[in-house]
Amino acid sequence: MKAISWVSGKGGTGKTTIVGNIGYILSKSGFKTILVDADHGLSCLTRLFKINARVDLIDLLKSNYVDLKDIVYPTGIENLFIIPSKDRIKVSEIRGFSRLKGMFNSLNSFDYILIDAPAGLGETIVNLMAVTGYYVIVAQPTPWSIDAALKLKLIGDKIGAKPEGFILNDVEGKISMFKDAVPKFEKLLGVRCIGLIPHDKKVKLSSIKLEIMAENSTNRAVREYYRIASAIAGLNIKPPKRRLLPFFG
């Protein structure tokens, strides 16, 4: 079992969309995967999978009367489960992060635990990175987003968490131009780049429609999701081949 926090120093980087798609790809590749919606202010991952939860992660953290099995929900996708959260609580009300380590240890039947952390550099993010011990940084190719990514890396170094890599999302223009700049980003952050996801209106549309894009597409963005999943799993996970429509018949 490996638990990974997915973090971004600023909001709007597309982190939740990436986590949902990577979870889908890993599960379809035979890995039993559970997603944890720890972004209790927005709960975007919970919405993405259309989960209507009676009890959730916050209930587990706040109460001694909620059992872990009560907050694990199927997504309807084989091998893929989710621990949801609801946007109904202030961060200051949460006192149960010390219980997270035990919770993750109890999920040892899963191959991967992917935690969708809140954006920013606050205490919640630090706690999640410390508890999981591994993290992926999601950033955009802008100076302020890269600066926030560097701050996350410094936090990770301070608490002894290991970076799995960083992702540049919503890359506009020619990807080849950014590929040339990747070594500079890697040197600056001290982290390998595991994904360059191009700007794609279809990605945003799939998020608005609450769809997992990797489920129905093999475009360039989805191929990058597969590359990221491959880096996480240490395997070459290939997207399904496109089905060609017959000319006649």
In tens digits, the chain (249 residues) has pLDDT values of: 999 999 998 888 999 999 999 999 999 999 999 999 998 777 899 999 999 988 888 888 877 778 888 899 999 999 999 999 876 555 444 555 667 878 888 898 999 999 999 999 988 899 999 999 999 999 998 899 999 999 999 999 999 999 999 999 998 877 767 777 888 889 999 999 999 999 898 988 898 899 999 998 889 999 999 999 999 999 999 988 765 444 444
CA distances from 229 to 52, 65, 222, 238 (A): 27, 36, 11, 10
Cβ 228 vs Cβ 18: under 8 Å: yes
pTM of the model: 0.91
Q: Domain boundaries in the chain? A: 2-233
CA distances from 103 to 36, 66, 189, 226 (A): 11, 12, 31, 28
Task: Give, in words, the CATH class of 2-233.
Answer: alpha beta
Q: How many residues does the chain have?
A: 249
Cβ 175 vs Cβ 196: under 8 Å: yes
Structure-token pair, residue 57: 């992660």
Distance between CA atoms of 70 and 233, rounded to whole angstroms?
28
DSSP H or E stretch at residue 28: helix 15-28
Q: What are phi and psi of 69, to 5 degrees?
A: -65, -20
Residue with tokens 């608490």: 159
According to DSSP, residue 133 is labeled S
